[in-house]
Amino acid sequence: MTLGTHPFVVGRLLIVTTNLIPLLIAWLLVARLVDRLGLTDWGRLFTMTATCFATFLSTFAVTLNNHLVAAVSAAVTLFAAATIWLDDDRRLRWFLLAGLFGAFTAANELPALSLLVLLGVGLLVKFPRQTLVAFVPAAALVAGGFFVTNWIAHRSLVPAYLKRGGQENWYDFKWIRWTSPENKLKRIGFEDLGYWQRLEREKQEDRRRMAEDPNYQPRWHIDKNEPQWTVYAFNVLVGHRGIFSLTPVWLLSMAGLAMWLCQRRDAGLRDLALLIALPTAACLAFYLLSYKTYGNYGGMSSGLRWMFWFAPLWSVGMLPAADAMSHRRWSRWLALLLLAISALSAAYPVWNPWTPPWLYDLAQYAGWVQ
């Protein structure tokens, strides 16, 4: 039985083994942390409901992708780090898991290197022997596999998506367009620009026309970068691809992380909050400042998919805010409203996550975007 002979059976088996089972494991690990760190039953139940039903991980569980794999790896990394820091468990197994899955997170989402480096430095300062014996070799194993496979595929140690721009631009090429199958056999065709070259030409034309006419609206394209940084930043945060507009439950995560950072009774919780907050800020700043390269909002996607791998981390960070909101009726209703909107966003593209989110469809229907 192969993918060619039984595409539906094999395809679904792949989805179950690579997506569903690992996602369930990630949810269980988050649940263990939530049960350990939560102060109220309402806060625990709310956090786990948001984890399972209000993030785009469940949306992307129906398709093969790197974002869910990175999120699962990040969940294992966080669980191992929490076990070391909060329980003072110095057994080598936890350092090995932290290094192995921290590096694997970065292998799937390169900006997650910030998480790996921050965790590695923190562990090296506090537990140098265990870090050098277990964490570093485990991370090096993944790094070795990453570079070896990249060399086999491209004869280069640099990933292909970093070869975009500069003198050695792998995305800058021309190709022969055949006018018909018969002419292809006869080798009759004409030279055409590559995909990204055509996009660059359109962007230059848009910039020229915007300079001439302030009311000109750039032509929309699935992979065309947003020409204005302010518009891009707005849409990334609270616009049609907004982290906090599509999934406003993450506002509670930011508040919860701030609460852990400001408290003084538990240094371990502060360290855990820093482990989540600093990579969040670094990755968000990276994508906001790199809008000329990554300003297409992730292309045809139901959300800002580059930040999806933070979902397990933000879920744990949500816990103190959920606990605090459990004491008053109005705050519970507010939290449930944020949860409902987030669940709607996750469920809207459930059959195909590679579609625009509901906010974009609404904005397009209203004529706010083209």
Q: pLDDT tens-digit profile of 265-288?
A: 888 999 999 999 999 999 999 999
Measured distance CA(260)–CA(156) in Å, rounded: 43
Model's pTM, two decimal places?
0.89
Burial 318-348 (b: 16+ CB within 10 A, else e): bbbbbbbbbeeeeeeeebeebbebbbebbeb
Residue 292 pLDDT: 76
Q: What is the pLDDT of residues 145-169, one digit of tens each?
A: 999 999 998 888 888 777 766 666 7
Instruction: Kindly state the percentage of the chain with pLDDT values over 70.
Output: 88
Whether residue 18 is predicted with pLDDT greater than 90 in this model: the reply is yes
Residue 229 pLDDT: 86
Domain ranges of the chain: 7-174+216-366
The phi and psi torsions of 92 (rounded to 5 degrees) equal -65, -25
Q: Which residues fall within 8 angstroms of residue 238, CB to CB, at 6 or more apart?
A: 244, 245
Section 112-131 average pLDDT = 96
